[in-house]
Amino acid sequence: MIKNNFWKVFWVVFVMVGVGVGYWLISPLFIDKKVSETMEDIEIMTPADSKQIVVSQGNFKDVDNFHKGEGTVKLIKSGDKYFVRFEDDFRVTNGPDLFVHFGRDGKYSSEARIGALKGNIGGQNYEVPENINPGEYNEVWVWCRAFSVPFSSAVLK
């Protein structure tokens, strides 16, 4: 009797965990998250007398037939801080566990993680962590940590 109950509980828990993991992995493909941050939001995070300088910029591109990306990205310097700015035209295929990274020469850099992607559509700002030197990189990547695959990248010029 106890053995039967154990297996019933096991299968119920197994199915519930499976459904939860499946939802976490698949639902982002059907749900868009729009962000509407502006350049003024960067001004709030820096001293009043800081001027914003666009250091470089690029355009996101598709990495394959499934993971699509488009829109403008800018590397901005304001005072002593650097920011990565996704413009309002930004759009990428949504997915689980997406992060913004720097990369160089066609390869993303796992140690140059800027932050978790705020949304797959719209303008958004990311402050570059102080331990990352943006001058060492020439690309911005949207990377899926769960599957270790790129979703989109942009070469900065």
Contact 96, 24 (CB under 8 A): yes
pLDDT tens, 3-47?
Answer: 667 778 777 777 777 777 766 666 666 789 999 999 888 888 887
Q: Six-digit token pair at 124?
A: 């958004």
Task: Please indicate, yes or no, whether residues 63 and 133 belong to a single structural domain of this protein.
Answer: yes
Instruction: Grade residue 129 by pLDDT with cuts at 50, 70 and 90.
Output: very high
- Supply the range of the domain harboring residue 91: 39-155
pLDDT tens, 77-118?
Answer: 999 999 999 999 999 999 889 999 999 999 999 999 999 999
- Select the highest-mean-pLDDT range: 40-44, 66-70, 125-129, 144-148: 125-129
Task: Please indicate, yes or no, whether residues 151 and 75 belong to a single structural domain of this protein.
Answer: yes
Contact 143, 150 (CB under 8 A): yes
Task: Please indicate, yes or no, whether residues 23 and 46 belong to a single structural domain of this protein.
Answer: no
Place of tokens 């598709």: 62
Q: Give the three-state DSSP class for 130.
A: coil
